[in-house]
Copies of this chain bind each other. A is one copy, B any other.
């Protein structure tokens, strides 16, 4: 029913949406980097910027959802093409929530530094988890850009490392608090930052799962990691 000309137009419009999603991905990556930096050096202006930038990310979410709807209505895609749009809609939601988490990190960074509560090496605590998560997010966006299913499988495995690191942070923070109860309030802020970072890792994992859904046509959400890896090789 759909001619070659129309199908080509469809591909072009879909590519335009995908480019904008990658732009949105770049925006939330910057938000995350800047939020962690504001937390590290106590730059409250940078923290304010991250929160302000979240409005632009939110607007992009609404625009991109709209663009996906219009594409479906105008081009009436077949099942295979629709899968890509459905996955894109889900990726957009995850990117928006990453922006929310970055804004939370920025707000906590600001509050912590304004209260002058940085009583232990707060950045050291989250350094490993924030670097691992930044890499994971970058890799997930890259896999989405290249629709690289094999890379996506590897990204999903990285989430376990981040979850493990979060539990390590929790234990060490509890020790800090018990040794010096005056640090409890600021240590909790550090824990909230770590939790927000861990959530960003979850969202990056979701993005990788949607890439596999597009590439391999199978829904691997809620599968065991071994099953994912096995399918990814096959």
List residues of A whose CB falls within 8 A of some B CB.
55, 58-59, 61-62, 65-66, 68-70, 72-73, 76-79, 82-83, 86, 89-90, 93, 170, 174, 177-178, 181-182, 184-185, 188, 191, 195, 219, 221-222
Q: Are A222 and B58 in contact (CB under 8 A)?
A: yes
Most chain B beta-carbon contacts within 10 A, residue among A55, A82, A188, A219: A188
Smallest Cβ-Cβ distance to A81: which chain B residue: B73
Residues of B within 8 A of A221 (CB): 58, 61-62
Residues of B within 8 A of A55 (CB): 222
Q: Are B82 and A69 in contact (CB under 8 A)?
A: yes
26 contacts between A and B (CB under 8 A): A58-B221, A58-B222, A59-B222, A61-B222, A62-B219, A62-B221, A62-B222, A65-B86, A66-B219, A69-B82, A69-B83, A69-B86, A70-B79, A72-B82, A73-B77, A73-B78, A76-B76, A89-B90, A174-B185, A174-B188, A177-B184, A178-B181, A178-B182, A181-B181, A184-B184, A188-B191
Q: Are B174 and A178 in contact (CB under 8 A)?
A: no
Q: Are A69 and B79 in contact (CB under 8 A)?
A: yes
5 further A-B contacts with Cβ under 8 Å, apart from A65-B86, A65-B219, A174-B185, are: A61-B222, A72-B82, A73-B77, A90-B93, A177-B181
**Minimal beta-carbon separation of A15 from chain B (angstroms):** 20
Residues of B within 8 A of A89 (CB): 86, 89-90
Smallest Cβ-Cβ distance to A75: which chain B residue: B76
Q: Are A73 and B82 in contact (CB under 8 A)?
A: yes
Complex CA gap A77/B73 in Å reads: 7
- Which residue from B72, B73, B184 sits with its C-beta under 8 Å from A174? B184
Residues of B within 8 A of A82 (CB): 69, 72-73
